[in-house]
Amino acid sequence: MKPRLSVIVVAYDMPRQALHTLYSLSTAYQTGVSADDYEVILVENRSARVMDADAIARLSGNFRYILRDEPGVSPAAAINVAAREARADFLCLMIDGARIVTPGVVRYALEAFAITRDALVVAPGYHLGEHEQQFHATRGYTEEKEQALLEDISWKSDGYRLFEISCLSGANPRGWFHPFMECNCLFLPRRVWDDIGGADERFDLPGGGAINLALYRRAASHPDSRLFVLPGEGSFHQLHGGVTTSEIPGREELLGRILEQLNQLLGEPYRAPSLEPTLLGRVPASAFPFLGHSVERGVHRKKNCAKTGEPMYAEEFLKRRRLPPAPVSE
């Protein structure tokens, strides 16, 4: 039977973390859905540390594992390989395989697609640990400390406790009422994926550079896309020596090249798409601090927009051809 959703996970040199990610996508962990609802396609670019295929086979659910040789340093081609294998009409892109998700992401994403086939669904991004992992060495954060945190909360038995040991990622530092920069657990229709040309393989820098920002920007700018945000769900980055998400030598210089390539390939300076989010899902108590942060930042943004006369969701109004609402009072 054809699944409704194909989840694409790309991994490279992160077997332990990616196995966590896959477990979080298994039917033993996801709630309100069954194995028939979705498939998970893991594409791994070969490294000295490849994943344990038997361990993947033991997971409950509908998993496929593709191990491939990648001559370059970007995951772009791997994503496209997985997308060609995907059978469903809706895709979930997890370009960085080191992301554990919460137990409701699949259910609520499918609910959004039940409303509209044009849904673009965002599970907000977090980093495990008290601080963003770009500065892990300075802060003394290590993989061992992260494993201890995960053990402390017994995350496999209650995935919503991940909120207790995490902070917001740089993709969405100001919460749900500000434009998102990108999303590392992004659901979109295959039609939109095809329309935007899939993953742009010109993003050939380590880790794909800013390919994920470009994908998000292009999918959000698609005239039919309608943004949904899952305020009670999330994807949680594990430390794994990633190019932009850990403190590595030469990071600043590399980030400069990444930004330059992004703007060049987009043909304009990058800006986060300002779409109005429809929120969907239960919000567990552990996520209240992040919702609280979001509304405080939202209030701040509302005041700024009232001062400048700029609509909060300018691109939404352009897309939906609605007149902007009357300015709101502070």
Minimum Å gap between C-beta 277 and another protein is: 7
Q: Which of residues 100-119 bind another protein (CB under 8 A)?
A: 107, 110-111, 113-115, 117
When asked if residue 292 is in the footprint of another protein (CB under 8 A), the reply is: yes
**Which residues are CB-neighbours of 326 under 8 A, at least 6 positions away?**
none
Tokens for 327?
């300015």
Shortest Å, Cβ 199 to another protein: 26
Task: Work out how close the CB of 289 gets to another protein at its nearest, in angstroms, rounded to a whole number.
Answer: 7
Cβ–Cβ under 8 Å, residues 97 and 17: yes
Which residue, 203 or 228, is less far from another protein as judged by CB?
228
Least separation, in Å, of the C-beta of 104 and another protein? 10
User: Which residue among 61, 208, 273, 281 contacts another protein (CB under 8 A)?
Assistant: 281
Indicate the residue among 150 and 275 with the shorter CB distance to another protein.
275
Q: Is 276 in the site for another protein (CB under 8 A)?
A: yes
Q: By CB under 8 A, is residue 325 in contact with another protein?
A: yes
β strands within 35-124, DSSP E: 38-45, 63-68, 90-94, 99-101, 119-122
Six token digits for residue 287: 């996520």
**Residue with smaller CB distance to another protein, 67 or 295:** 295
Tell me how far, at minimum, the Cβ of 17 lies from another protein, in Å: 29
Q: Report how far residue 194's alpha carbon sits from residue 83's, in angstroms, rounded to the nearest whole number.
A: 10
- CA distance linking residue 189 with residue 91, whole number of Å: 6
- Sequence-ordered alpha helix ranges (H) in 116-210: 136-139, 143-153, 190-195
Member of 271, 285, 304, 310 binding another protein (CB under 8 A)? 285
Closest Cα to residue 246, out of 137, 85, 119? 137
Q: Rank residues 113 and 141 by Cβ distance to another protein and give the closer one.
A: 113
**What count of other Cβ atoms lies within 10 Å of the Cβ of residue 13?**
18
Residue 76 · residue 201 · CB < 8 Å: yes
Taking the C-alpha atoms of residue 108 and residue 192, their distance in angstroms, rounded to an integer, is 19
Q: Which of residues 51-110 bind another protein (CB under 8 A)?
A: 107, 110
CB of 99 to another protein, least distance (A): 23
C-beta atoms surrounding 240 within 10 Å:
21
**Closer by beta carbon to another protein, 36 or else 151:** 36
Contact region with another protein (CB under 8 A), list: 127-135, 141-149, 194-202, 298-306:
298-306
- Per CB under 8 A, the list member of 98, 242, 312, 315 interacting with another protein is 312
Q: Other CB atoms closer than 10 Å to residue 1's CB: what's the count?
A: 7
Q: Which residues make Cβ contacts (< 8 Å) with residue 71, sequence separation at least 6?
A: none
Catalog residues that contact another protein under the rule CB under 8 A.
4, 32-33, 37, 107, 110-111, 113-115, 117, 177, 231-232, 276-283, 285, 288-289, 291-292, 295-296, 298-299, 302, 305, 312, 325-326, 328-329
